[in-house]
Amino acid sequence: MEPIDPAFMALLDEEYEKFKVTDSHSLLKKHLTQEVFDKIKHRVTAEGATLHDCIKSGLANPDSNIGLYAADAESYILFQELFDPVIDEYHGGFEPSQFHPISDFGDPIDLGDLNELGNYVLSTRVRCARSIEGYPFNPLLSSEMYAELEQDVGYALEDLEGDLSGKYRSLKDISSEEQEELLEKHLLFKQGDRFLEAAGASRFWPEGRGIFLNENNTLVVWVNEEDHMRIISMQEGGNIGEVYERFVRAVTILGERLPFSSSERLGFLSFCPTNLGTAIRASVHIRLPLLGEDRQTLEETAAKFNLQVRGTSGEHSEAEDYVFDISNRRRLGLTEMEALKEMYDGIREIIQLEIDMEEGNSQCRKKSY
C-alpha cells in the first residue's frame, strides 16, 4: 500500500491536537494516547483504511461514547493498539490474549416468557450484525460495492421459506410516508445519525440500502444501514423463546448462503467494536412507571446484570410514557445463549424490582389510611 500523503498526515495531526483538548469522555479519547497515535498513525491496511477512517466520527463528535469504528476487517489487527483497549473496556473485560468462544445458540426452548402476565413487557426483539467476507466496511465501500452487497444478500433472502419468507425492498423504492410508518413501528432503521454520518456510513445513500420483511413483520433484515446486515426477530409480548427460535433459524439459513466475516479472536466482525463476537442485542420494550422515576436505581440495577438502558426509539432516544429499550450490553467473550440468559435474568430482576416498588407503595398507602 502507498504511504500516507504528508499533507494528509499534517491534517490528521492537526485534528488530533484539537481533539486532545476537548472534554470528550469517549473511549477513543481515553485510549488514543499520544504514544498510541504516533505509533499507528502512518499505517494503512491492504484495502486502504487509515487511522483517520476509523476515528473520524469520534473526532467530529466529542460526545461519542465510543468514537471508533473499523473501516475494514484488517483495521481490528493493524490498529490493535487502539482497538484492543476499547474492546476490553466496552465488553467488560476482554484482554488481547482472550478468544471469543465458538458459537453456541443453545436451545431456545430453555427460554420461556419474560412476562407471562404481559403487564410490563410490550415487545421483545433479538438482533445481530453480520458482515460479508470480501467487502470492507462503510468508509471504504464504493457505490458499486453497496449495490453488489445488496444483490448478494437479496439472493440469500429469497431462500427463506415458510414463516420466514417475505419480501426485500430497496430503500429508494419505499415512499417517505411508508418509511415513516415502518419507523414508527420500530421496523425500519433511523436515518441521519450524526455519529454514523461522520463515520462515513451514509455515503451514496440510499444506494444499496433496504429492508426485508416477512409476512407478519416478525423477521426483519436491514441491508447496509450501519452493518452489511442486521438480522432481527421481534414480536409483541415477552415470549423471548419464540423470538429467539425464529432468530436462530433465520441466522442459520442465511449463514449457509452467505460467507459471514469473522475472526478466531473477535468472533463475528462488525463496523462498530461494540457489536463484535455474538453481535447480538436482545431487548425488550418494557414499561416501568416506578423505576422510570428513579433512573439511578434503574441504571444501577441494569449495570449489575450487564444490561443497557436505551429510550423508546433505541439508541440516542428518550423513553416515552416510561417505555424503555433494555438489552444485553456484552456481546463478546460469551456464547449466544449466555448473552440471552444474561438478558433474561436481568429483565426478570428488573420486573421483580418494579413489582416490589409497587407493593412498597401499596403498603405505604395502607399505613397512611
Q: Which residues bind ligand DAR (CB under 6 A)?
A: 64-67, 195, 226, 272, 274-275, 315
**Cell numbers standing for residue 195:** 455519529
Q: Which among 272, 331, 336, 354 is annotated as catalytic?
A: 272
Is 226 an active-site residue?
Answer: yes
Task: Specify the residue, 57 or 115, whose C-beta has the smaller distance to ligand DAR.
Answer: 57
- Segment holding 128, helix H or strand E: strand 121-130
Q: Which of residues 285-314 bind ligand ADP (CB under 6 A)?
A: 285, 310, 313-314
Task: Specify the residue, 207 or 325, whose C-beta has the smaller distance to ligand ADP.
Answer: 325
Is 281 an active-site residue?
Answer: yes
* Nearest one of 161, 186, 280 to 227, comparing CA atoms: 280
Residue 11 contacts by C-beta under 8 Å, 6 or more apart in sequence?
Answer: none
* Separation of first and last alpha carbons in the chain: 79
Residues in contact with ligand ADP, shown as a per-residue x/- string from 313 to 332 under the rule CB under 6 A: xxx---------x-------
Task: Count other Cβ atoms within 10 Å, centred on residue 4.
Answer: 16
Is 315 an active-site residue?
Answer: yes
Among 124, 138, 214, 308, binds ligand ADP (CB under 6 A): 124
Does position 125 bind ligand ADP by CB under 6 A? yes
CA 237 to chain centroid, in Å, comes to 22
Coil, helix or strand at residue 15: helix
Q: Which residue has the CB atom at the shortest distance from ligand ADP?
A: 314
Residue 282 · residue 343 · CB < 8 Å: yes
Does position 209 bind ligand ADP by CB under 6 A? no
DSSP 164: G
Strand order in the sheet with 121-130: 166-170, 210-214, 219-223, 229-236, 121-130, 280-287, 323-328, 307-310
Q: Which among 125, 310, 330, 331 is annotated as catalytic?
A: 310
Among ligand DAR, ligand ADP, none, what does residue 325 contact (CB within 5–8 Å per kind)?
ligand ADP
Is 265 an active-site residue?
Answer: no
In the block, cell 461519542 appears at: 64
Residue 251 · residue 308 · CB < 8 Å: no
Determine the interface stretch with ligand ADP among 1-9, 120-128, 252-260, 359-367 (rule: CB under 6 A).
120-128
Output Rg (C-alpha) for the chain, integer angstroms: 21
In the complex, least distance from residue 350 CB atom to ligand ADP, rounded to whole angstroms: 14
Task: Specify the residue, 80 or 191, whose C-beta has the smaller distance to ligand ADP.
Answer: 191
- List the catalytic residues: 127, 226, 230, 272, 274, 281, 310, 315
- Interface with ligand ADP (CB under 6 A): 123-125, 127, 186, 190, 230, 234, 281, 283-285, 310, 313-315, 325
